[in-house]
């Protein structure tokens, strides 16, 4: 396509917003680039025919940043074209602008009117795997912006999520881990006692609890308590159109809602795993010493020797992975929930199930990898 020089708006400073029309005949596109604040948009060139067979697309690959006034400027520019029957392809615009313009722009008389519910149904009709891949891609992009120091995430949101997911989850984690540690120690000791090998109870409890069980207990507790809460909170915001309001204001929902929750669980996950492991070891010590007569000093010495390897590192790594998967599952289901109370409830249930499935798959994969690496 050949550019149309009369329709260019030059940038006033390096990196400032710039827009220009390119095309000829019945195929045109509006190219946006730079950092867009409140500059105006160029009017369509006279060569652009306002007719039903004219197609207008957009190219925003060079658009580094945009502010809410761009949405209003685009609407003022495109509304007359839409009324004239011009076919507008909004796929080249930023994701935050597309749904807003789709809902607000007038529809040509020959085309049926699309309602908000129609757009929601079309979005919900996407395959689940595609929604998951898009969500993971958006999350990785948000993490990349955070690494470059260009994120909109607030530190206060992150600290709030740490307080909600860490200390408030600790009592139930300690209780469940203690009970599971009791089961592992008692059942293992029953079998070892038949061979007079009570001294190996410490090895069994230490490796089993620290390497595998503590991380799984933390993951399951977080899935039921935190993952479900994430899905319900974000799903309710979607049903109340709060996420649409954030998008209209130019705030990325992934940076504002997902990133603080995921990073909070990345911090609290290994800490909770460590606490769960300590609780399981203490209960195992009580079972071995009180019920099976293992000397306390011998049990502690065996436990210390067992922890000299990679088991503690593997356990903390698994706890971190499971916690991140819980956050991703909860936020993913919340962002893709429907706009009704029933849909929010279904998203909450799906978040717990999906988190547990992802954890089982991750546990299997990590176990095979660590065994192959002899860790």
Each residue of 102-116: pLDDT tens digit?
Answer: 878 876 554 444 444
* Closest of 19, 270, 256, 62 to residue 145, by C-alpha: 256
pLDDT digits (tens, 9 = 90+) for 46-70: 888 887 788 899 988 888 877 777 8
Alpha carbons 99 and 71: distance in angstroms, whole number: 11
> Which residues, 6 or more positions from 154, have their beta carbon under 8 angstroms from its beta carbon?
256, 260
pLDDT digits (tens, 9 = 90+) for 191-223: 887 777 777 888 888 888 998 999 999 999 999
For residues 78-103, one letter each, b for 16 or more C-beta atoms within 10 angstroms of the residue's C-beta and e for the rest, the string is beebbeebbbbebebbbebbbbbbbe
pLDDT-derived band at 333 (thresholds 50, 70, 90) equals very high
pLDDT-derived band at 346 (thresholds 50, 70, 90) equals very high
Rounded average pLDDT over 149-163:
90
Rounded average pLDDT over 353-359:
95
- Across all residues in the chain, what is the average pLDDT? 84
Alpha carbons 357 and 170: distance in angstroms, whole number: 23
Alpha carbons 257 and 265: distance in angstroms, whole number: 13
Q: Indicate whether 339 pLDDT > 60.
A: yes
Side-by-side strand order, sheet with 87-88: 18-24, 27-36, 55-66, 87-88
Choose from 12-21, 27-36, 125-134, 326-335 the range with maximum mean pLDDT.
326-335
| Predicted pLDDT at 38 | 62
pLDDT-derived band at 306 (thresholds 50, 70, 90) equals confident
CATH topology assigned to domain 5-114: Transcription Regulator spoIIAA (3.30.750)
Alpha carbons 83 and 188: distance in angstroms, whole number: 76
pLDDT digits (tens, 9 = 90+) for 65-101: 777 778 888 888 888 888 888 888 888 888 878 887 8
Residue ranges of domains in the chain: 5-114, 131-372
The structure tokens 């795993």 sit at: 273
């Amino acid at each position: 396509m050949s550019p149309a020089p009369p329709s260019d708006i030059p940038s006033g400073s390096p990196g400032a917003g710039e827009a220009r029309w390119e095309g000829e005949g019945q195929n045109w596109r509006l190219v946006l680039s730079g950092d867009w604040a409140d500059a105006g948009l160029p009017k369509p060139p006279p060569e652009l025919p306002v007719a039903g067979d004219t197609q207008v697309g957009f190219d925003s690959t060079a658009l580094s940043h945009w502010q809410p006034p761009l949405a209003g400027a685009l609407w003022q520019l495109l509304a007359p074209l839409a009324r004239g029957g011009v076919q507008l392809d909004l796929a080249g615009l930023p994701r935050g602008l597309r749904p807003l313009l789709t809902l607000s722009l007038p529809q040509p008389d020959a085309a049926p009117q699309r309602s908000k519910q129609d757009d929601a149904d079309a979005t919900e009709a996407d395959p689940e795997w595609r929604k998951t891949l898009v969500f993971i891609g958006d999350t990785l992009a948000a993490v990349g912006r955070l690494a470059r120091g260009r994120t909109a995430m607030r530190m206060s949101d992150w600290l709030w999520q740490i307080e909600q997911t860490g200390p408030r989850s600790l009592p139930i984690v300690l209780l469940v881990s203690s009970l599971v540690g009791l089961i592992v120690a008692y059942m293992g000791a029953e079998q070892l006692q038949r061979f007079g090998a009570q001294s190996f109870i410490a090895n069994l409890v230490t490796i089993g609890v620290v390497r595998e069980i503590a991380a799984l207990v933390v993951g399951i507790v977080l899935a039921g308590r935190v993952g479900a809460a994430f899905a319900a909170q974000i799903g309710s915001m979607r049903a109340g159109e709060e996420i649409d309001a954030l998008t209209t204001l130019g705030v990325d929902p992934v940076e504002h809602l997902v990133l603080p929750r995921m990073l909070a669980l990345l911090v609290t996950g290994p800490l909770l795993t460590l606490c769960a492991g300590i609780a399981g070891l203490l209960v195992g010590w009580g079972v071995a010493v009180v019920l099976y007569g293992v000397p306390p000093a011998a049990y502690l010495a065996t436990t210390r020797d067992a922890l000299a390897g990679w088991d503690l590192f593997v356990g903390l790594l698994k706890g971190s992975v499971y916690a991140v998967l819980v956050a991703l599952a909860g936020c993913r289901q919340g962002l893709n929930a429907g706009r009704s109370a029933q849909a929010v409830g279904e998203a909450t249930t799906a978040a717990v199930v999906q988190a547990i499935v992802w954890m089982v798959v991750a546990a299997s994969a990590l176990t095979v990898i660590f065994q192959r690496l002899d860790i």
